[in-house]
Structure 1
Amino acid sequence: MSALLALALLASTALGAPVSSSNIYAAANWPLPHTVTGDDDSAHPNDATQGWGGIHVHDPSIVLGPDGHYFSFSTHGLTAISRASVAGSLDGDWKILGSVLKGKSVVSSSGSADPWAPDVHKVGSTYYDFYSVSQFGSQVSSIGLATSTTLLPGSWTDHGAILSSSPTAAYPLNTTNAIDAALFVDPKTNIPYLNYGSFWSDIFQVQLSFDLTKANLKTAVGLSFDPAGTQAEEGSYMSYSAAQGYYYLWYSHGICCNYNPSSLPAKGTEYSIRVGRSKAPTGPFVDSNGVDLRRGGGHIVYGSHGPIYGPGGQGVLSGYHGRDVLYFHYVNTTSDPKYADNLKLLGWDYINYSAGWPVLSYD
């Protein structure tokens, strides 16, 4: 029996038979993403680590800089940094500035030289970038931390790993995959949490020390798990809406990468963006049908439609001109008929709420 199958059976036994949410791929009026403008450094079609930043991102993280301009961070390019030239705007023009790291991360457990899935937040006067170091299909992974006070290339200090997973690590790091970190500081209590995970037990959470450098494994709790198939959930992000009174757990579900237009994943197994909500940051999170996310629940809020394919790697900006925004990467099949990874685009839409559930809109 494989480790993944064993975990699926364990989840089904502990929480009851898995239930699939009936709203998956139901008819929806999903908007097109806002089109961003900026640098297009995609002249490296044979090197997946090059050509990122500007309009092309993967697993974007966006934060407002000290100068009033938004900065974006992307997987690849040693964590590519871009800056929107118009203050207070997500539309661009996005200019590539450089990278967070000057070279290979000081994290060396997996041998990877190119960090994934940056998650950048400002806490106090410091910006924290939680990044991932791993290799595709491996559970030998680490979440590293770099800090800066300006966001600019050359200003970052790499502090190395704060969380590492492997089959021989302590629980839950022996059953989870330490990538796709997402910091959440509860606005009610100021307690910092780190949500993480990809496949291997899917999405978990641990509390962090208040200096954000140490994880308390005794606080570990599972937030979301798909007991079917290969447990393709990752890239979580947590937000809170005081107006709605809920914490929201967003995550990407399905196959993220290496699309081939002649043999695409079966419909519904490519990337999509899903969400659950809870009254507490530690869960339990449920979907719009009341199904626990740990039992296969998940309200799909954005998926493939029209020329948009495989949206995911999402994050939330609160208070963007008084509104919440969901940003993400996606394939535009009109401009990129080959579905190339390094041509994925940055997109965003506004978040409205209907009976406490997020609904995306263009305006």
Structure 2
Amino acid sequence: MTVRRTLTAVAAAALVALLPHTAQAAQSYPDPRPLTGQEIIHDPTVLRLKSGGYVAYSTGGVIGARLSEDGRHWDDAGNAFAEPPAWWYEYNDTGDPWAPDLSYRDGRYWLYYAVSSWGTNHSAIGVATSATGLPGTWTDHGKVFSSETTDTWNAIDPAVVRADGRLWMSFGSYWSGIRMVELDPATGKAVEDARVHHLATRPDEPYAVEGPEIVKHGRYYYLFASHDACCSGVNSTYKIKVGRSASVTGPYVDSTGKPLLDGGGDLLLQGHGRYLGTGGQSVFRDRGRDWLAYHYYDARDEGTPKLGLNVLTWTKDGWPAVGR
């Protein structure tokens, strides 16, 4: 920072242009798109509906819902479900779901979510479907995949991606990091005796990487993940990192070639200004553009978690960058 203060604006811009894309991004994080209405959210998943307008689902409530006509003004729309399905209570006393993932395929909307308790990997991922994607229209189909305290992974934070005619779900939080299993496209659930692939981790306990999202761009699959700690308001240290692979099951590496299984990952977005602890991310496509959705903790509002939306652009060498 001392060097930057001594440079003129022109010289600083020239220096940034010469830096590799990871360092350049670190020096120029854009603020999120200005939003109005109900901005409070955690772990958002966003999609433009076939009927028009946008829906966002999130951790909180019985999968909290927000609706928007234009992607800028958001209204509280209650919850995905009127009440928790009975089986959720096997995993926590309150039937509290976490970190949903919304997608559309085969004429239906699919909503994946996790149920667990803080600090344990006695966890499960479930799935529901809807013809419209709107809150109050979901039919729950039960467990997709689960983990127990004897496992070395944690079945939370699901994200679904299609690759080469097959359906895959990445997931994971702490424990040994990010994992992946294949799903049966007909049921949306894990195939029988599913192999658990290992995609990303950190070299030291508590292996603080979670919330995967995988996106296909060009010939690569890109794995976005949240590193470090969420859920502590202005003290949150969440940040978003990314790596890529020619195969959906990995191995994923960053722009320096460091494997994500060895703690690699290019820094895409971290806290800056009032926008602290950026993470819990998802990516959606709208009218030919990719968008990054995430939550941040608002330093001007006592660390309240709020919705962040930024355009996701792509560099000439095929790496994502955050715009506005």
Tell me whether the two structures share a fold, i.e. TM-score over 0.5: yes
Q: State the match for 1:237 in structure 2.
A: 213
Q: State the match for 1:109 in structure 2.
A: 90
Structure 1 residue 105: Cα displacement: 2.8
Q: Deviations over 1:25-47 (max 9, x none)?
A: 984211011121123xxxxxxxx
Q: State the match for 1:65 in structure 2.
A: 49
Q: Deviations over 1:88-140 (max 9, x none)?
A: xx21x211222112212332321341111010111111111111101111111
- 1:145 aligned residue (106, 127, 130): 127
Determine which structure has greater relative contact order: mean sequence separation of CA pairs < 8 Å that are 6+ residues apart, divided by chain length.
Answer: 1
Q: State the match for 2:115 in structure 1.
A: 133
- Contact 1:128–1:145 (Cα < 8 Å) also in 2: yes
Q: State the match for 2:158 in structure 1.
A: 181
- Contact 1:85–1:95 (Cα < 8 Å) also in 2: no
- Contact 1:109–1:140 (Cα < 8 Å) also in 2: no
**Where does structure 1 differ by over 3 angstroms across 4 or more consecutive aligned residues?**
22-27
Structure 1 residue 349: Cα displacement: 1.1
Q: Percent identity, please.
A: 36
**1:312 maps to 2:296:** no
Gaps of 5+ in 2: 1-20
- 1:82 aligned residue (62, 66, 83): 66
Q: State the match for 1:228 in structure 2.
A: 204
**1:97 maps to 2:77:** yes
- Contact 2:49–2:55 (Cα < 8 Å) also in 1: yes
Q: State the match for 1:38 in structure 2.
A: 37
TM-score by length of 1: 0.79
- Contact 1:127–1:148 (Cα < 8 Å) also in 2: yes
- Contact 1:134–1:140 (Cα < 8 Å) also in 2: yes
User: What is the identity, as a one-letter code, of the residue corresponding to 2:61?
Assistant: G
Structure 1 residue 78: Cα displacement: 0.4
Structure with the higher fraction of residues in helix conformation: 2
Aligned equivalents of 1:148, 1:184: Cα separation in 2: 18
Alignment root-mean-square deviation, CA: 1.8
User: What is the identity, as a one-letter code, of the residue corresponding to 1:61?
Assistant: T
Structure 1 residue 77: Cα displacement: 1.1
- Aligned residue for 1:294, secondary structure, equals helix
- Aligned residue for 1:344, secondary structure, equals strand
**In the comparison of the two structures, how many residue pairs are matched?**
300
Gaps of 5+ in 1: 1-21, 40-54, 169-173
- Contact 1:185–1:191 (Cα < 8 Å) also in 2: yes
Structure 1 residue 211: Cα displacement: 1.5
TM-score by length of 2: 0.88
- Contact 2:62–2:97 (Cα < 8 Å) also in 1: yes
Q: State the match for 1:275 in structure 2.
A: 242
